[in-house]
């Protein structure tokens, strides 16, 4: 069928089941926007392209489907960069479509020209500059395929303005044939047998799992493995929710702000079963002190993750879910040597070393208390939680006990301040009937607070809890511990009145400054329609503890007694 380039993009969206796109228009995508208008495709107009990228990311993390974001050439495209990099670092499927100047003008420093395929090369899984209308259907197909298979990630398509109006034949390929792209899904049977045997023999095994469990949907297999073989589990930030928080053998998060139980289990285990995770330095601490007593099994779909940071003994390249399934088959009715003594030990650690804080005066509000209360009040609703980056993010990981995957959405790898709120909007678009809560930092929130307009515009009833400590708290904390308390430019003096800021946009704003107001105010916010921001004015000098100093052993925990 004859179609214009813009029509082809829309037709491809339809083929791919795209229900909503996030974006911001401009000169180089006017034709595409005209087509969006004509076809009535749902489009969420954010107030900044970065917001659109994070919203598409939040949508993808909340659903498992690729998020789609559109921006114009030049500044529109460069504004996507942080959002794309955020998705790349956490392996989130995203398709970004950018306008480009007309083909004859490429390379001439034309108005609003930026080499976005060059700029995004290191932060995309792959990208395309479409030069020939005949290539467009195939590239669209490949973009969605690459974004959402193997180790997922963002793919960018750069679409010159003149190509959007050019006519061509549209036949959407039914299959993709990319000779250089063949992800491995089935783990090697020999390696799987070895892994099963190692698990059977271990007396102090530990599962260390990450975002890969969420993206392959392996939570059931993971839990079964843990239950059958009696293996405790620790889960990274991006894996939170893939193991029910109240499961007896769940140890919480490992690493720099991990639990005592998780870090000590890592230190003592004799077998580490790493699943869909990448041995990030925030988890391992000083590498040569990491899991000193353990043999390591590493299951990951990306061969390049195997032995990248830590050399492993039994690598298995494959889909996490399929591989765990195979391991379970090999373990069925086999004798597992007792791990009960070990399980007992980690349970004792867990009981003896919970996270602690002290909400002793009504006046001085502790951020941990706020988050724990938000959790308590909303738990029956099973909300989707998003966070920004900083202390509040760690406290959310500690005190918000998520029980299901895709319910805890946070920028792990890139640690992008300003991610939480637009990501919450994306999650709310995906799940209009669910409660979406954003735990924001006062610093982070200001990086994308313009999206309040988006929330109001589309009546997205996200509840925003600004954990307002009047500091770039995490920076201040590092300055306290590692720079002798010199608080260089980490004060947030000059922040707006967040309540009035919300109100200026037409959203509701509430303020809480004392402990006894916390619960009733949360309850009130939940009863209100539309977006609500609560400004929680918390103790400015609270620290996230325990803490492991960078590049030290993870059992040297500051405040970890």
Ligand X SMILES: Cc1ncc(C[n+]2csc(CCOP(=O)(O)OP(=O)(O)O)c2C)c(N)n1
Active centre residues (catalytic): 49, 111-112, 161, 474
Among 424, 423, 474, 418, CA closest to 449: 418
Is residue 388 at the binding interface for ligand X, with CB under 6 A as the rule? Answer: yes
The token pair at 528 is 């209100």
Scanning 300-308, 339-347, 406-414, 538-546 for contacts with another protein by CB under 8 A, the matching segment is 300-308
- Tokens 């010159």 belong to 160
Binding partner at 388 among ligand X, another protein, Mg ion, none, C-beta below 5 to 8 Å by kind:
ligand X
Is residue 442 at the binding interface for Mg ion, with CB under 5 A as the rule? Answer: yes
Q: Considering beta carbons, is residue 179 or 494 the nearer one to another protein?
A: 179
Binding partner at 307 among Mg ion, ligand X, another protein, none, C-beta below 5 to 8 Å by kind:
another protein
The token pair at 100 is 């480009």
Scanning 14-22, 302-310, 347-355, 431-439 for contacts with another protein by CB under 8 A, the matching segment is 302-310
Residues 401-430 contacting ligand X, CB under 6 A: 415-417
> How many chain residues are in contact with Mg ion, going by CB under 5 A?
6
Binding partner at 389 among ligand X, another protein, Mg ion, none, C-beta below 5 to 8 Å by kind:
ligand X
Residues 109-138 contacting ligand X, CB under 6 A: none
Q: Considering beta carbons, is residue 111 or 487 the nearer one to ligand X?
A: 487
Scanning 69-77, 223-231, 277-285, 298-306 for contacts with another protein by CB under 8 A, the matching segment is 298-306
How far does the chain reach from its first CA to its final CA, in angstroms? Answer: 69
Do β-strands 67-71 and 20-24 pair in parallel, antiparallel, or remain unpaired? parallel
Among 398, 403, 409, 397, CA closest to 382: 403
Q: CB 427 → another protein: shortest distance, Å?
A: 29
Tell me, what DSSP letter sits at residue 338? P
How far apart CA 211 and CA 237 sit, in angstroms, is 8
Among 17, 40, 179, 485, binds another protein (CB under 8 A): 179
Which positions from 465 to 504 touch Mg ion by CB under 5 A, shown as an x/- string?
----x-x-x-------------------------------
How far apart CA 455 and CA 47 sit, in angstroms, is 10
Q: Considering beta carbons, is residue 212 or 420 the nearer one to ligand X?
A: 420
Helix, strand, coil % (nearest 5) of the chain?
A: 40, 15, 40
Cα angle 85, 91, 92; round to 5: 85
Is residue 474 at the binding interface for ligand X, with CB under 6 A as the rule? Answer: yes
Among 360, 341, 436, 423, CA closest to 60: 423
Tell me, what DSSP letter sits at residue 303? G
Is residue 441 at the binding interface for Mg ion, with CB under 5 A as the rule? Answer: yes
Is residue 87 at the binding interface for ligand X, with CB under 6 A as the rule? Answer: no
Is residue 131 at the binding interface for another protein, with CB under 8 A as the rule? Answer: yes
Is residue 190 at the binding interface for another protein, with CB under 8 A as the rule? Answer: no
Among 113, 305, 442, 542, binds ligand X (CB under 6 A): 442
Among 390, 405, 426, 461, binds ligand X (CB under 6 A): 390
DSSP reduced 3-state for 42 = strand
How far apart CA 407 and CA 331 sit, in angstroms, is 30
Q: Where are the alpha helices (DSSP H) in 285-400?
A: 320-331, 340-352, 367-378, 391-399
- Tokens 């799940």 belong to 431
Peptide bond into 546 cis (omega under 30): yes
52 alpha-carbon distance from chain centroid: 15
Among 75, 118, 134, 550, binds another protein (CB under 8 A): 118
Binding partner at 515 among ligand X, another protein, Mg ion, none, C-beta below 5 to 8 Å by kind:
none
Do 128 and 139 meet the contact criterion of CB atoms below 8 Å apart?
yes
Among 168, 210, 443, 546, binds ligand X (CB under 6 A): 443
Is residue 441 at the binding interface for ligand X, with CB under 6 A as the rule? Answer: yes
* DSSP letter string, 400-437: S---STTSEE---SS--TT-HHHHHHHHHHH-TTS-EE
Is residue 311 at the binding interface for another protein, with CB under 8 A as the rule? Answer: yes
Is residue 392 at the binding interface for ligand X, with CB under 6 A as the rule? Answer: yes
Do β-strands 384-387 and 436-441 pair in parallel, antiparallel, or remain unpaired? parallel
* DSSP letter string, 234-269: EE-GGGTTSS-TT-TTB----STT--HHHHHHHHH-
Binding partner at 475 among another protein, ligand X, Mg ion, none, C-beta below 5 to 8 Å by kind:
ligand X
> How many chain residues are in contact with another protein, going by CB under 8 A?
20
Among 266, 425, 472, 532, binds ligand X (CB under 6 A): 472
Q: CB 70 → another protein: shortest distance, Å?
A: 22
How far apart CA 168 and CA 137 sit, in angstroms, is 10
Is residue 184 at the binding interface for another protein, with CB under 8 A as the rule? Answer: no
Among 172, 181, 478, 481, binds another protein (CB under 8 A): 181
Q: Exposed/middle/buried for 459, CB within 10 Å: 0-12, 13-18, 19+?
A: exposed
Positions touching ligand X (CB under 6 A) are 388-392, 415-417, 441-444, 467, 469, 471-475
Positions touching another protein (CB under 8 A) are 117-118, 121-122, 125-126, 129, 131, 146, 178-181, 302-304, 306-308, 311
Positions touching Mg ion (CB under 5 A) are 441-443, 469, 471, 473
């Amino acid at each position: 069928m004859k179609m214009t380039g813009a029509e082809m993009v829309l037709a491809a969206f339809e083929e791919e089941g795209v229900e909503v796109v996030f974006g911001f228009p401009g000169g180089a995508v006017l034709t595409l926007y005209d087509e969006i208008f004509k076809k009535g495709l749902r489009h969420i107009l954010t107030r900044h392209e970065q917001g659109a990228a994070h919203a598409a990311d939040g949508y993808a993390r909340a659903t498992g489907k690729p998020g789609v974001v559109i921006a114009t050439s030049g500044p529109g495209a460069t504004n996507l960069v942080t959002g794309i990099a955020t998705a790349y670092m956490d392996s989130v499927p995203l398709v970004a479509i950018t306008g480009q100047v007309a083909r004859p003008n490429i390379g001439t420093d034309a108005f609003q020209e930026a080499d976005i395929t060059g700029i995004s090369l290191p932060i995309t899984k792959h990208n395309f500059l479409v030069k020939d209308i005949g290539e467009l259907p195939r590239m669209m197909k490949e973009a969605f395929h690459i974004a959402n298979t193997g180790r997922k990630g963002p793919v960018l398509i750069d679409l010159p303005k003149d190509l959007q109006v050019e006519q061509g034949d549209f036949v959407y390929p039914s299959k993709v044939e990319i000779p250089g792209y063949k992800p491995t899904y089935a783990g090697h049977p020999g390696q799987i047998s070895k892994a099963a045997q190692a698990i059977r023999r271990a007396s102090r095994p530990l599962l260390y799992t990450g975002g890969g469990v969420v993206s392959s949907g392996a939570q059931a297999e993971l839990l079964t493995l843990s239950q059958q073989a009696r293996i405790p589990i620790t889960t990274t930030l991006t894996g939170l929710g893939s193991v029910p928080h109240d499961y007896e053998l769940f140890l919480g998060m490992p690493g720099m702000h991990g639990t005592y139980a998780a870090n000590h289990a890592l230190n003592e285990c004799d077998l580490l079963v790493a699943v869909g995770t990448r041995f990030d330095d925030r988890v391992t601490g000083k590498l040569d002190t990491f899991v000193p007593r353990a043999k390591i099994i590493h299951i990951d779909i990306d061969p390049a993750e195997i032995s990248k940071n830590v050399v492993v003994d039994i690598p298995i390249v494959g889909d996490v879910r399929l591989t765990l399934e195979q391991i379970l088959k090999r373990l069925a009715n086999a004798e597992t040597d007792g791990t009960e003594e070990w399980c007992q030990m980690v349970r004792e650690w867990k009981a003896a070393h919970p996270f602690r804080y002290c909400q002793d005066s009504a006046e001085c509000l502790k951020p941990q208390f706020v988050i724990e209360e938000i959790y308590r009040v909303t738990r029956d609703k099973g909300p989707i939680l998003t966070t920004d980056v900083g202390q509040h993010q760690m406290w959310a990981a500690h005190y918000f006990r998520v029980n299901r995957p895709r319910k805890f959405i946070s920028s792990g790898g890139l640690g992008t301040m300003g991610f939480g709120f637009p990501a919450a909007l994306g999650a709310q678009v995906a799940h209009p009937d669910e409660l979406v809560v954003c735990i924001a930092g006062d610093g982070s929130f200001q990086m994308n607070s313009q999206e309040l307009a988006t929330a109001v515009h589309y009546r997205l009833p996200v509840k925003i809890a600004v954990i307002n400590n009047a500091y770039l708290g995490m920076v201040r904390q590092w300055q306290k511990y590692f720079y002798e308390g010199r608080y260089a430019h980490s004060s947030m003096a000059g922040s707006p009145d967040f309540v009035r800021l919300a109100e200026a946009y037409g959203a509701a704003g509430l303020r809480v400054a004392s402990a006894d107001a916390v619960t009733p105010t949360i309850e009130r916010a939940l009863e209100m329609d539309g977006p609500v921001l609560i400004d929680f004015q918390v103790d400015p000098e609270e620290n996230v503890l325990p803490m492991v100093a960078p590049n030290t052993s993870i059992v040297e925990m500051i405040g970890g007694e």
